[in-house]
Chain A
Amino acid sequence: MAWLVVRLAISVSLLYTASAVFEDQVGKFDWRQQFIGKVRFALFDTHSQASKKLLVATDKNVFASLNSRTGDLFWRHVDKIGPEGHIDALLMYGQDAVVVTGNGRLLRSWETTVGGLKWETVLDTGRLFMLFCVNIRINWCIKLTVSTFDHSFQAAALVGVQDFVKYVAVLKKSAISLHDLSSGSQIWVENLPDSDTVQYQTIYSGGNGLVFVFGVVPNSHIVIVEYKIEDGEIMRKKSVEAAWMSSLESSCTVISSGILLCVDQITQSLYTLQLQSAEQTEIRQIHLQTLDLEVASGFQPVLTSTQPNPAQPPLSEFFLQLSPDHHILLQLKDGLIAPLRDFNPSYLAAFATSGERTVAAVMSPKNDTACSINLFSADTGRRHLDTTIIYHMDPNGGKPNRLYVHAFLKKDDSVGYRVMVQTEDLTLTFLQQPGRVVWVREEALADVVTMEMVDLPFTGTQAELEGEFGKKADGLLPMVLKRLSSQFILLQAWLAHLWKLFYDARKPRSSVKNEVTIDTLSRDEFNLQKMMVMVTASGKLFGIDSKSGTILWKQYLENIQPDSVFKLIVQRTTAHFPHPPQCTLLIKNKDTGLGNLYVFNPIFGKKSQISVPALPRPVLQTLLLPVIDQDYAKVLLLIDDQYKVTAFPSTKNVLQQLQDTASSIFFYLVDSSQGKLSGFRLRKDLSTELIWEVVIPTEVQKIVAIKGKRANEHVHSQGRVMGDRSVLYKYLNPNLLAVITESTDTHQERSFVGIFLIDGVTGRIVHEAVQRKARGPVHFVHSENWMVYVYWNSKFRRNEFSVLELFEGAELYNSTVFSSLDRPHPPQVLQQSYIFPAPISTLEATLTEKGITSRHLLVGLPSGNILSLPKMFLDPRRPEVVSEQSREENLIPYAPEMPIREEWFINYNQTVSRIRGIHTAPSGLESTCLVVAYGLDIYQTRVFPSKQFDVLKDDYDYVLISSVLFGLFFATMISKRLAEVKLLNRAWR
C-alpha cells in the first residue's frame, strides 16, 4: 500500500510540476530575439534633441519604436497579418505618430512615448453616397455604391495652417477626408470629381489654407483640385494637358512655393507647373539636355524633394535620380532649374532637417567593400567638412537600398548626423561618425522559413581522442603510447581550463565576456549547444549559436524569387571527422517548380566546392536515404516531373548501392489539385514505377497537409504495460503517412475534416476518420504510434484536440522487423477528443535522444506563449470511470476540457509574436529537448518533459548535503570518544 502511495505521489507531482520554469532559471538557457521585418517607413523623432526614438513601420504590419542608441525595442505593436493590417503611411508630428492601416481603412494616432493608442477612426467614405441614394433612382444607386466601394488608399499628408499642424488629410481613390490631429474626428469628407476616369494619386498642402489633390488620366492630362481646409469646398479645379504622363507617383513632386515638378524618361524632360496661378494652364517643359543631363535607358527617374515642416512650403532643392548610381541635386530659382551638385557615382541620397537647417546625405561607393556617406548643405550643395561616414559592406550581404538620416545640431551649431542603412538582405545598420557601427539588426530573421539544428564539431583534442578509436590497431605498445599521449593532452586542456577559470575569477564579473566565435565553437559535454541553421524567406542563411543566440555566420543568396520554397537537408553531420559537415538547401521556384541546390558547411557557412547536379526539370519530391557514400554523406534523391530520379551525390559507389537497394526504395507524390496520392518504387536504372494510387475526389474535399514521421525519432518501448500486467503492443509503422483533407463545402453544418492514415509503401489506407462540423486550419503531430490533430468545431465554436493511437494488440505479428508488405492484421485504433480552451497557432512534439522520456506537445498560442502539454492528457485510454487497473496504469480520468496552466508556459513572459513554427531537437541528455520557436521573434529554450532525471538539478542543495555529511562525521567522532569514556568508566566500576 505504501508503495502505491509513493507511486501515486510521484505521478501527482509529475502532473503538476512537469516542464515548469523556476524563476531563477530565467535567461539561464533561454533567449529571445525580437524582430520587426523589412522597414517601409522610418522616422526619427526630431521633436527634441535628446530623443532616442526611431519609429518604424514594416511590411510585417508591425509598428514599433526603436532605441536609436542601442537598436532595442521600446515597444512594438503587431497588427493582423495580410492586407487588413497593412500599414499604408506613417506620418509624425511632435509626440504623435499617425498611421494609416488596412488600405486606408483605419486612421490611428499613437502616443509614441507610452506606446498607446491616442485615437482610432474608421475612414468611411461610403456615407456620402447614401444621400444621393434616397433621391435618385434605385438601380443607379446600387450601381453607384458598388462602384464606389473600392476606396483604396492613395496618399496621406499632414496639413498645417499658419505654421501649426492641425489636420491630417487622407486621399483615397474616390474621396478625400480631413481629420483633426488631436482627436481624430472627421472635419469633412468630399468626393473627388470624375473619380471613375481620373486616378487621384497624391496630395499636397503648403500651409496656406489649401489642400491640393493631383490626379492623372494616363497619357492625357493631369487634374488638380484645390480644396479649402475649413469646409472642404472646391476652390478651383483645373486640368493640364500632359500626354506623356502615365503615373504621378515617384515621377512627380511639389517643390518651392507650390510648383509641381515632374520628370519623364521618354521625352527626357522635366516639367514644371505653377499650382496657384490661374493663368498658367500649360505645363512648362525643360529638356534635360539643356542641363547636360540624361536619364539612363530603361530607368524610371525618381524625384525626391523635402518639406521640413508640413505647415510651410517645401524647399526649392530636390534630388533627381538619373540611373541606379547617379543622383543630382538641383535647385529651382526664379523659374529656372540649375544643378547644384552632381553625385556620380552615388547609390543613395536623402534629405534631413534639424531645426532650420536642411542637409542632404549622399552615399557613394569608395571601393569594392566600402561606401562613404557625406553630408552636404541642401541650399548650396557645399560639402560639410569632417562629416564622412565609412560604411563597410558585408561581403556575404546585399547592397544598400535605403538610407535614413537623422540630423541634429551640435553644440557649436554645426550639423551632426547619424544614418541608418537598410540593405537588400534586410540588415539595418546604424552608423555614427566617423563610421562607428552603433548597432545592427538582422531583420531577415523575422521571416524564418525552415531550420535545422546541427551538432557542433569536436575540438582538436576531442577529435584526436575519437581518432584513436577509429584507427586500426597497430600493436600493443604504440596503442599504449597513443593512449597516454591523448590522456596527457586531456590533462593539458583541463589545466588550461582551470587556469582560465582562475584568471577570469580575479577580474570583475562584468568584464568577463564569454564571446562565442566560430573558432572557439566546440561540442559541450552533453551536446546541449548546437548550431541553428536558419533559412529566411529573403534568401539569407544564418548560423546561430543556440546557447547565446549570437549570429556566427550569415550568407545572402542573391537572385532568390520572393516566394520560393526552401527545403533544408542535413546530408552529413559533424560525426564524420575529418569530413566536414554538409547541408543542402533546395530552393524551388513556386510557380515553375524549377529548383537548384546550394551546398554549404553548416558550421562555418561556407559554400562547399562539391559539384551540384543541374536540375533542368521541376522537382516534385526529395528523399533523403539512409544510404551513405564513401564520404559518409547521405544520399539525396530528387524526383522530377517525369518521375526520373537524380541522386546527389551521384558517385559510382552510390549508384552501385542504389542498384542493390532499389527494390526497397519507395516514395510518394501528392497532387493536391487533382486530389491524387501516388506511390512509386525505384528501379535499378533510376527510373520509377507506379505502385499505388489513391484518389480523394476534389469535388468533395481537398488535401491540405501530409506528414510522415520524423526520421530521427526513436521509440523506446514497443508496448504499454496494462493494469493487468499484459502488454498492449504499439503499431509502429515507419512508413505511415497522415493525410489531412478539408471539405470544399464551407457551410458550417456540412463542412468536415478528414484524416487518412496511409501506408506509404503499399498505399493501404490503415485508418480513415471524418470529423463532422469541423473546419481547418488543422494542426497536427504524427509520431510513434499516435497522431494528434486540432481543428475548429464549427458547431460549438471551439478548438478541439483529437488523438488517434494505433495498437497491434496483445501480440506482435513480427517483433524483430516491421514490413509494410507483411502485416495482415489491421491495427486497433483508439480515439478520444478534448476541448482546447484557446486558439492555436502551431503544434509540435518534444523529441529526445532515445525516446525514453515522456513526450510533451508544444502548443504555440496566438498570445505568443508556448504551452507544454503532457501527452498523458492526450491518451485515448483515459477512462471515464476510474477503475483499479486504470489507476495502476496512471491514467488520468477523462475530462472534456484540457487544462491550461500558466506554469506550463515554457517561455513565461518572453512571448513569441506570430509564432509560425516550433523546431525540436534532441540533446545529448535524454531528459532534455531543445526547442526553438520562430515567427516574428525567435525563442530558444530547453524543456525537461520528465524533469531532469539524469543530471543534478540546478537547485541541488550542496550546502545541505555537505553539512549533513560533516555533521554525521563529527557526530561519530564525538560519540566514539564518549563510548570510549563510558567503557573506561565501566571497566573501573
Chain B
Amino acid sequence: MQQMKRLLVVYVALQALFALSWCFSDAEPGPAAGSQSNGDRFKIEGRAIVPGVKTQDWISTARILVEGEEYVGFLKTDGSFAVNDVPSGSYVVEIVSPSFRFDPVRVDITSKGKMRARLVNYIKTSEVIRQPYPLQIRSSGPHTYFMKRETWGWTDFLMNPMVMMMVLPLLIIVLLPKVVNTNDPEMRKEMEQSMNMLNPNPELPDVSEFMTKLFSKGSSKSSGGNKGSRSVAPKRR
C-alpha cells in the first residue's frame, strides 16, 4: 500500500511535467463547469436564438465557425451547439447563417480548460466585456442585403431644393397681394416707399419689364418661358 502511494506521488509529479498530456487534464480536479475536456482539446458550447422563428426553419443553413473555418460546428434541432476538439487559445466564434445576423463572440480557453466569453473588439483586443458562457447568442434580426430603391413620391419632389426655390417665391408673389389688401391706400403708400428703398435708382430699367417686353413680342411661340413671364406679371401691375 505504501509503495502504491509513493508511486502515485511520483506519477502525479511526472504528470505535472506533461501538463498538456491528454490523460492529465482528465484527471484534473476541476475543469470549469460545462466544459468537458478531451485531452488538451476542449468544447465550446452555446445556444443560438432567433426570436420568433422556429429552429427548423433556419438551422439547416447555419454553421458555427470558430476562427474562420478552423473549427466547424453544427446546430442541434433545439438551437444549441457544441464545437469539439478546440485546443486552448482565444477564438472568435461566429454563427453564420444566410438569413439571420448574429454578432460574433470571443471565447478564451485557458490551458486548463477554463472558458470565458467576451465581446469582440478588434481595436482594443485586451478589453474584456464579459458575455455569458455557455454562449447565448441572440440574432439581431434578418440580414439587410438590399438597398432601398429610390421611389418617386410627391413629398420627395416637393422637398427638392430646386422645386422649393421655384415654388416658394411663386406662392409669395401670388398670395401676398391677396393677403395684403392692396386697395388700402395707406398700405399702398407704405409698399411704394419700401420699394423705393429697395430700388434706389428708379431710372434703371426693370429687368422683369424688359423680359416681358421681349417675350410679349413672340408670346405665341414661347412656351416654357411663359411660366416665368406669368410669374412676374402681377409685379408689373
Contact = CB atoms under 8 A, between A and B. Distances in A.
A129 interface: yes
B39 interface: yes
A902 B77 contact: no
Contact of B23 (A117, A133, A835, A905): A133
A908 B152 CA distance: 25
Given A115-B60, A797-B90, A133 B11 contact: yes
Contacts of B21: 145
A914 B65 CA distance: 12
B224 interface: yes
A837 to B, nearest CB: 5
Contacts of B123: 835, 896-897
A903 B148 CA distance: 10
A122 B55 contact: no
A130 B23 contact: yes
User: Looking at chain B's contact residues, is the secondary structure mostly helix, strand, loop, or mixed?
Assistant: mixed
Interface string B158-197: 0000000000000000000000000000000000000000
Contacts of B38: 122, 124
B11 A134 contact: yes
A841 B65 CA distance: 13
Contact of A21 (B7, B43, B94, B145): B145
A29 interface: no
Given A22-B146, A909-B143, A797 B68 contact: no
B23 A126 contact: yes
A77 B84 CA distance: 16
Most buried by B among A17, A124, A137: A124
A796 B145 CA distance: 30
Contact of B152 (A141, A957, A976): A957
A116 interface: yes
Interface in B43-101: 43, 55-56, 59-61, 63, 65, 67-72, 74-77, 81-82, 84-85, 90, 92, 94, 96, 98-99, 101
A747 to B, nearest CB: 14
B2 interface: no
Contact of A863 (B18, B65, B67, B223): B65
A980 B84 contact: no
A22 B26 contact: no
Interface string A804-844: 00000000000000000000000000000001010111000
B159 to A, nearest CB: 15
A979 interface: yes
A102 B85 CA distance: 11
B146 A21 contact: yes
A79 B26 CA distance: 27
B124 to A, nearest CB: 9
Interface stretch (A80-88, A325-333, A572-580): A80-88
Contact of B122 (A122, A796, A909, A972): A796
B199 interface: no
Interface string B8-38: 1011001000100111001100000000001
Contact of B94 (A20, A80, A142, A863): A863
Contacts of B76: 116-120
B110 interface: no
Nearest to A139: B14
A863 B43 CA distance: 21
B85 A116 contact: no
A880 interface: no
Contacts of B43: 122
Nearest to B14: A138
Contact of A117 (B4, B8, B75, B125): B75
A116 B73 CA distance: 11
Contacts of B4: 135
Interface in A48-81: 74-75, 77-81
B147 interface: yes
A88 B146 CA distance: 41
B147 A85 contact: no
B107 to A, nearest CB: 12
Contacts of B98: 864, 909-911
Contact of B59 (A115, A839, A863, A896): A115
B144 interface: yes
Nearest to B74: A117
B122 A798 contact: yes
Interface residues of B, number: 60
Contacts of B223: 972, 975-976
A23 interface: yes
A219 B38 CA distance: 37
Contact of A80 (B71, B81, B120): B71
Contact of A130 (B26, B65, B226): B26
Interface in B94-126: 94, 96, 98-99, 101, 120, 122-123, 125
A506 interface: no
Interface residues of A, number: 73
A105 B60 contact: no
A837 B106 CA distance: 12
A129 B144 contact: no
A145 B18 CA distance: 12
B150 interface: yes
Contact of B77 (A77, A111, A972): A111
Contacts of A902: 101, 143-145
B205 to A, nearest CB: 23
A909 B58 CA distance: 13
A142 B77 CA distance: 41
Nearest to B12: A134
Given A81-B69, A106-B84, A972-B224, A114 B146 contact: no
A116 B77 contact: yes
B101 A114 contact: no
Contacts of A126: 22-23, 26, 39
Given A24-B149, A122-B38, A134-B11, A864 B59 contact: no
B60 A134 contact: no
A296 to B, nearest CB: 44
B222 to A, nearest CB: 9
A20 B146 contact: yes
Residue among A79, A117, A976, A980 with the highest chain B CB neighbour number at 10 A: A117
A8 to B, nearest CB: 14
Nearest to B80: A117
B145 A835 contact: no
A81 B71 CA distance: 10
Nearest to A913: B63
Nearest to B56: A114
Given A133-B23, A976-B223, A120 B71 contact: no
Contacts of A102: 85
B125 A796 contact: yes
Contacts of A863: 65, 94, 96
Given A21-B145, A79-B72, A975-B226, A114 B23 contact: no
A97 to B, nearest CB: 13
Contact of A839 (B11, B14, B67): B67
B147 A122 contact: no
A21 B149 CA distance: 10
Contact of B147 (A17, A78, A79, A115): A17
B145 A903 contact: yes
Interface in A275-290: none
A864 B75 CA distance: 18
B96 A864 contact: yes
A114 B60 contact: yes
A194 interface: no
15 contacts: A23-B149, A24-B149, A77-B63, A85-B72, A116-B60, A118-B76, A134-B8, A138-B11, A835-B122, A841-B68, A863-B96, A902-B101, A902-B144, A909-B143, A911-B98
Given A24-B149, A84-B85, 16 more contacts: A23-B146, A77-B60, A79-B72, A106-B84, A126-B26, A126-B39, A129-B23, A134-B8, A839-B68, A902-B101, A902-B144, A902-B145, A908-B146, A957-B152, A975-B223, A980-B220
* Closest 6 pairs between A and B when the two form their complex, measured CB to CB: A115-B60, A839-B68, A908-B145, A75-B60, A116-B77, A972-B223
